[in-house]
Homo-oligomer: A and B are copies of this chain.
Amino acid sequence: MKNFITTQNWSRSELQDIVDFAIELKNNPYQPLLKNKSIAMLFFNPSLRTKTSFEVGISELSGTAVVLQPGKDAWPIEFQENIVMDGDAEEHVKEVAQVLSSYCDCIAIRAFPHFKDWDHDRTDSVINSFAKYSSVPVVNMETIEHPCQELAHILTLQEHFGDLQGKEYLLTWTYHPKPLNTAVANSSLLIASKFGMNVKLLCPSEDYHLDDRYLKAAKENCASEGASFDISYDIDSAYSNADIVYAKSWGCLSHYGKIDEQIANNNQFKHFIVDESKMALTNKAVFSHCLPLRRNVKATDGVMNADYCIAVKEAGNRKHVQKSMLSKIL
């Protein structure tokens, strides 16, 4: 039994297999690969692409999806061990995971961090607790990583470039009025490095460094693929010669939990918006973003409407890679 929680537990060739089979499914979408299989999808946070692409994709493979929203239409859940449950939570993940395992063949989870204490949030306790007590595979629909987005990202880039080895990959922080989750940024580093690209992280300052776990993993992945990993604070040099520009906004970990300070920090760096003049510095790069994207805040209309913007294509590929991944693990 294999979970799909982080791509770090999967080899490059295993991930490539998923991507390759996604292309087959893209050409031949209706196959009964999940016949008599049901997937419980737990959303602790909102979703458009993930919910729709999973539900439609599962149906195209003859499977059944059940959507649950704990705390809204289902009971709030406790994740701490050995606790007297006299707070809000009505049941423990131990029971929830076991019961859902008896109903379904897979448990998929979207659980953003709580944005209070990074030391806690970085343990990714919700999905890891489910993985601990579940007897069926657990799938990450975005927690502090977003591995399904990674698969769609790679498929989309391979459709554009073919082989990605040695491509110049830029992950740039971009502006957003709120301090957002680091998940897609973490995932961007993990997957770009795993597929042998020269990875550059552009952010406003050291305050915006991603967690060491991900910087270290990216460095190691790059090293083992013979590629480079750099961090830059200079917009012009970072964009120059990039083949791929991926953008994401996140709240700085250095002020994690202090939302007003994070917002004040973000507000200093509105000029990180991805615009046409920055894109002009690149090696005719493609631009992508995981969506949702605030236009003219994270990226300009000009960039979003350009032919080099592959964000919508990447979102569309979510369905295919997820179908492929579910077929592999179920």
In the complex, chain B residues whose CB is within 8 Å of the CB of A293? 91-92, 95
The yes or no answer to A292 lying at the interface (CB within 8 A) is yes
A204 to chain B, nearest CB (A): 18
The yes or no answer to A248 lying at the interface (CB within 8 A) is no
In the complex, chain B residues whose CB is within 8 Å of the CB of A311? 95
> Measured between alpha carbons, how far is A91 from B294 in the docked complex, in Å?
5
| A 280-298 to B, binary, CB cutoff 8 A, 1 in contact else 0 | 0000000000011111110
In the complex, chain B residues whose CB is within 8 Å of the CB of A294? 78, 85-86, 89-92
Residues of A43-89 contacting chain B, CB below 8 A? 43, 46-49, 51-53, 55-56, 59-60, 64, 66, 68-70, 72-75, 78, 82-86, 89
Partner of A30 from the list B36, B82, B296 (CB cut-off 8 Å) is B36
The yes or no answer to A40 lying at the interface (CB within 8 A) is yes
Whether B48 pairs with A55 at a CB distance below 8 angstroms is no
> Which one of A100-108, A160-168, A186-194 is at the B interface?
A100-108
Known contacts A38-B56, A49-B99; decide if A297 and B84 are in contact (CB<8 Å). Answer: yes
Whether A84 pairs with B38 at a CB distance below 8 angstroms is no
Partner of A91 from the list B30, B64, B90, B291 (CB cut-off 8 Å) is B291
The yes or no answer to A301 lying at the interface (CB within 8 A) is yes
In the complex, chain B residues whose CB is within 8 Å of the CB of A96? 48
A112 to chain B, nearest CB (A): 13
Number of interface residues of A (CB under 8 A): 60
Known contacts A85-B297, A291-B91, A319-B103; decide if A59 and B52 are in contact (CB<8 Å). Answer: no
The yes or no answer to A257 lying at the interface (CB within 8 A) is no
> Measured between alpha carbons, how far is A292 from B98 in the docked complex, in Å?
12
> Measured between alpha carbons, how far is A51 from B72 in the docked complex, in Å?
13
In the complex, chain B residues whose CB is within 8 Å of the CB of A210? none
Partner of A52 from the list B51, B100, B301, B316 (CB cut-off 8 Å) is B100
Whether B75 pairs with A64 at a CB distance below 8 angstroms is no
A301 to chain B, nearest CB (A): 6
Beyond A78-B294, A91-B291, 14 extra complex contacts between A and B, CB < 8 Å: A47-B73, A48-B74, A48-B100, A51-B66, A55-B66, A82-B296, A83-B295, A84-B296, A84-B297, A86-B297, A94-B295, A102-B315, A102-B319, A103-B316
List 10 A-B pairs, minimum CB-CB distance, nearest first: A91-B292, A102-B316, A85-B294, A48-B74, A59-B64, A90-B292, A84-B296, A99-B315, A38-B56, A55-B66
23 residue pairs of the A-B complex, CB under 8 angstroms, read A30-B36, A38-B59, A38-B60, A46-B73, A48-B75, A48-B91, A51-B73, A52-B100, A52-B104, A53-B103, A56-B64, A56-B66, A56-B103, A59-B64, A60-B64, A78-B294, A83-B295, A84-B296, A94-B295, A95-B292, A95-B312, A98-B312, A103-B319
